[in-house]
Amino acid sequence: MSAAPHSAVATRREGDVLVVSIDHPPVNALGVDVRRGLLAAIGQADADAAVRAVLIVGRGKAFIAGADIREFGKPPMPPPLHEVCNRIEASVKTVVAAIHGPALGGGLEIALAAHYRLALPAATLGLPEVNLGLLPGAGGTQRAPRLMGAKAAARLMLDGKPLSARAALAAGLVDRVAEGEDPVAAGLAYAGELLDSHAPARRISDIVIADRAAALAELDALQAETARKSRGLFSPLKIIECVRAAVELPFDQGLATERARFLECLDSPQRAGLVHAFFAERETAKIPEARAAQPRAVDRIAVIGGGTMGAGIAVAALDAGLPVTMIERDAESVARGRANVEKVYDGLIAKGRMTPEAKAAILARYAGSTSYEDAAGADLVIEAVFEDMAVKQAVFRELDRVCKQGAVLATNTSYLDIDAIAAVTSRPQDVIGLHFFSPANIMKLLEIVVPARTGADVVATAFALARRLKKIPVRAGVCDGFIGNRILAVYRQAADYMMEDGASPYEIDEAVRAFGYPMGPFQVADLAGGDIGWAARKRKAATRDPDARYVEIADRICERGWFGQKTGRGYYLYPEGARIGQPDPEVLAIVDAERARKGIAPRKFGADEIMRRYMAAMINEGANVVDEGIALRPLDVDVTFLAGYGFPRFRGGPMKYADMVGLDRILDDIRLFAKEDARFWKPSPLLERLVAQGRNFDNLNKAP
Ligand code: 3H9
C-alpha cells in the first residue's frame, strides 16, 4: 500500500464553504505546487454551485511566508504568482483569508487578493521584499495603497517590518481581529457571517484612491527622504515608483508597472546578494556537531568580568530570560559591573522603551559576587576579563576548581589560543570560545570558536544558546583572530599600505563608505580607540617578521595621545565631543613625514583601486580561512562580515561579492599587486585551485 502523495494545497467542504488549506512546510512558501494548487482550488470553488465562499488558511505556524525564495534566479515555472492573485480576486465566490501567523510578501498579497481578511492575535503582516532587494511583485504595490493609503503602504514596503494583527487592523489592512489560534474555526465563523449578511465580493482593485494630489505630494516627500537614506539600494525607489503608479494609473496599468520594476529588481546583483545573505544566515547554524549531539541544559549563567563586554553579555543573557551571576575581583568592581548593566536598561527607560518596573523584574534575576564559589551552580560560564593569556588561564584554573561537573566553560577572547586556555583545566572537553562583539547585547554576531578537544555536545550547547540569545552564530576554528579579526588584520594592513603609498585616510574611508559600509576603517579605529590596537602592536612587536612591511603612522598618532573620539582626535578631529570627525591637516602632515622618512613618493589612488585592493586582501585571507578549515564554508565568512563587521548586506558578504566579480579577476588583481609586495600579496591556494577548476566559492557552500 502506498501513501497518498502529499498535496501542498488541500480542499474540503464545510457546509457551503470550501476550505483551502496550504500545507507546505516549513513556512508555506508559495512554490510552484502551492501556486498550482491555489489556482485549481479557486477553479473548483467557482465551478461548484454548492460552494458560496472560499476560506484560505495556512497549516502549521505560518499563514504564508511569501514567494519561495529558492526559486529566484531559476527559470520561472507557471503559473506566476501575480496571476494566482488575480484569479483569486476574480473568483465569483466570497473569498476570505484567515491569518494566524506570518503573512509576508506574496503571502500578504494572496490575502490582499481575497475579498475579506481576518487576523488572529499571533498574525504578523508585512511586505518585506525590500530586505531581499525586491518589491512586492504579485499586486502588493497596487492593492496595499488602495486599502491603507499610498504613504502608509509605501512605508510598510520600505521599512520591510511586519505589523501585528492589531496594527494591521488600525492600518486598514485587515477587516477584523478575532480571538483564538485556530484559523479554520475563526474563518468559518466569519465567512458564515459574511454570507448571512449577503456581503458583496469586495475587490481591492476596484477601489480608486481619493485625493490623488495629496497622495502624490506625500510620495514626493517620501521619495526625497528615501533617496537620502537608502544609500545605493536599488529597490526602495522602485517601490515608490510603483506606489505612484497605483495612485495615477488604472489598476491593470499599475500592475504592468509593478511587473516591469519587479523583474528589474529580480535581475539585480543586489537581489542576489541579499537572498544569499538570507539563506547564509540560516545555514551557519547547520554544523556537524548539531546533528551529532544534543545540547546540554542551560538554566543559569555566570559571567566573569563586569567591564563593557561582560556587562553586555550579561544583558544579552538577562534579555533572554536567564538568571545571571557576575563575578568580579572586589566589591568596587562588582558595583561597577552592576552599574554597567543598569546603564543599558536606564538608556531604554530614558528612550521610553522600558518601564522602571520591567527593569526591576529583570534585575531580580541578576546577582554580583566577589567569590568564584558563586559560579558553582552555573550551567555555563563566560569569561570576559582582560585580554591576556596568563590572566585568562588563572580564571580558568579557578573555574575548573569550583564549577560543577558538566558546566560549559567559555571564553570571550577575541584572538588568544583557546587550546592553551583549555589546557590548564582538567576538562578541556567542556571549554569553548564564545566571541561576542561590542556592544554584546546588540551586535548579532557570535563567533563560536571550537578548540581541538571540545565535546560535540558543548558545541551544540553553544549554538542552542546563540539561538536563545537571538544571535547569529558562526562556527570558527582556533587561530590568531579566528575568522573575523584574522581577516580584518589583513585588509586593515592593505589600507595602511595604501595610506603610506599616497591615499589619505579620508579618501580610503570615503571609498569604503561609497562601497556601502556605514564607516571607513579609520573612522572605525577612532571609534574603537587607538590605544587598544597600539597596546596589541607593542605586545606583538618582538615576534613581528622584521622583513614584513610595517606602517608606523598609527603609532605616530598614538604617541601624541590621540586615541580617537574619546580623546577628541585620532585620524580625525572631534571638536567638543562631535561624533562625526573632521579631516585633520596635522594627521596628513604625519602621514607625509612617514612617507618622506621611508623615501616613498606618494601616488594617486582612485576609489576603484582602493576598493580593489581592500577587497582583494579581504577575499584572499577569507579563502585561506576556509582552506585551513577555520571557517566551515565561504558562507560562514560572509555571515561573519555581514553580522559583525558592517559589510554591506546587499553585496552578500566578501565571498559572495568575489563570486559575483569573478574569482579570476580577483586572482589577477592579487598577482598584479604581488609584483610590488610578494610577501603580503600571496595568492591563497584555494583561490588558485578554484580558478583553475572554473569553480567558485558558492560551490563549496553545501552543508559540511
Ligand atoms: C516575495 O514574496 C515576492 C513576492 O512579492 C512576489 C513574487 C512574484 N521561501 O526563518 P526561519 C525557510 S519575497 C523559501 O528559520 P522562523 C528558511 O530558509 C518573500 N524558504 O524560521 C528555513 O529553512 P531551513 C517575502 C523560506 O520561524 C525555514 O523556512 N517573504 C522562506 O525564525 C524556517 O525559516 C519573506 O521575506 C521563503 N519565503 O521565521 C519572509 N521563508 O529550515 C522570509 C523561510 O532549511 N521569511 N524559509 O533553514 C521569514 O521572515 C521567516 O522565515 C519567518 C519564519 C518569519 C517566516
> Measuring from atom 10 of ligand 1, which residue has the nearest CA?
282
Distance 244 CA to ligand 1 centre (A): 28
CATH superfamily ID and name for 298-479:
NAD(P)-binding Rossmann-like Domain (3.40.50.720)
Residues in the chain: 704
Topology annotation, domain 519-603: N-(1-d-carboxylethyl)-l-norvaline Dehydrogenase; domain 2 (1.10.1040)
Residue 447 annotated among the catalytic residues of the structure = no
Residue 313's region, left for phi above 0, alpha for psi from -120 to 50, else beta, is alpha
Distance CA 393, CA 423 (A): 9
128 backbone dihedrals φ, ψ, rounded to 5°: -90, 15
In 3-state terms, the chain is what percent helix, strand and coil (to 5)? 55, 10, 35
Cell 586593515, located at residue: 492
What integer pLDDT is reported at residue 524 of this predicted model? 94
Q: Are 124 and 152 in contact (CB under 8 A)?
A: no
Give CA torsion, residues 435, 439, 444, 450, to 10 deg: 0
483-503+605-704 against 519-603: fold identical: yes
| Structural domain spans, the chain | 2-267, 298-479, 483-503+605-704, 519-603
Q: Which amino acid is at 110?
A: I
Distance 201 CA to ligand 1 centre (A): 31
What integer pLDDT is reported at residue 703 of this predicted model? 58
Largest CA distance in the chain: 92
In 310-443, where do the E strands start and end?
Answer: 324-327, 366-369, 380-383, 408-411, 431-436
The catalytic residue among 89, 129, 258, 500 is 129
pLDDT digits (tens, 9 = 90+) for 315-354: 999 999 999 999 999 999 999 999 999 999 999 999 999 9
**CATH code matching the domain that covers 483-503+605-704, chosen among 3.40.50.2000, 1.10.1040.50, 1.10.490.130, 2.40.50.140:** 1.10.1040.50
- Ligand 1 pocket list (CB less than 6 A): 26-27, 29, 62, 65-70, 81, 102, 104-106, 109, 128-129, 132, 134, 136-138, 140, 279, 282
The residues near 283 (Cβ < 8 Å, ≥ 6 apart) are: 633, 635, 701, 703
Distance CA 72, CA 82 (A): 15
The residues near 311 (Cβ < 8 Å, ≥ 6 apart) are: 326, 337, 340, 341, 343, 344
Q: Are 385 and 358 in contact (CB under 8 A)?
A: no
What integer pLDDT is reported at residue 2 of this predicted model? 41
What integer pLDDT is reported at residue 179 of this predicted model? 95
Q: Which amino acid is at 576?
A: E
> Measuring from atom 5 of ligand 1, which residue has the nearest CA?
136
- List the CATH code of the domain at 2-267: 3.90.226.10
**Cis peptide leading into 26, omega within 30 of 0?**
yes
Mapping DSSP onto H, E and C, the string for 252-278 reads HHHHHHHHHHHHHHHHCHHHHHHHHHH
What integer pLDDT is reported at residue 704 of this predicted model? 57
Distance CA 345, CA 364 (A): 13
What integer pLDDT is reported at residue 532 of this predicted model? 80
Q: Are 435 and 414 in contact (CB under 8 A)?
A: yes
Residue 129 annotated among the catalytic residues of the structure = yes
Q: Give the chain's radius of gyration (CA, Å).
A: 29
Given ligand 1 and candidates 30, 35, 69, 242, which is best to mutate, with the most ligand atoms within 8 Å of its CB?
A: 69
The catalytic residue among 14, 83, 89, 109 is 109
Distance CA 366, CA 368 (A): 7
> What stretches of 449-584 show up as alpha helix (H) in DSSP?
456-468, 484-501, 505-515, 521-528, 530-540, 553-559
Distance CA 536, CA 660 (A): 35
Distance 348 CA to ligand 1 centre (A): 30
C-alpha cell belonging to residue 419: 587550546
In 165-285, where do the E strands start and end?
Answer: 176-177
The list of the chain residues with pLDDT below 50 reads: 1-3
Cell 492575535, located at residue: 121
The complex's ipTM works out to: 0.99
Helix 235-248 crosses helix 251-267 at what angle (to 10 degrees)? 170
Closest CA to 411 of 426, 428, 460: 428
Instruction: Give the side-chain half-sphere CA count within 13 A for 516.
Output: 20
Q: What is the pTM of this model?
A: 0.95
